[in-house]
Amino acid sequence: MTAAASLAGALLLFWLVRTRFARGAIWAAIGLLPFLVLASASRLELGLTIVVEAPIVVALCGPLAVDRSRAALVCGLVNLITQPLLYLILTRAPIVGVLQWRAAFAACELAVWIAEALLYLACLDDLRRSRHALAKAFGLSLAANGASAVIGLLLPI
Question: CA 144, CA 48: separation in Å to the nearest integer?
Answer: 12
Q: pLDDT tens for the chain, 157 residues: list them.
A: 455 666 666 666 666 666 655 556 666 666 666 666 666 656 777 788 888 999 999 999 888 777 888 888 888 888 887 877 777 776 666 666 767 778 888 888 898 999 999 989 888 878 888 889 899 999 999 999 999 989 988 887 6
The secondary structure of residue 15, as a DSSP letter, is: H
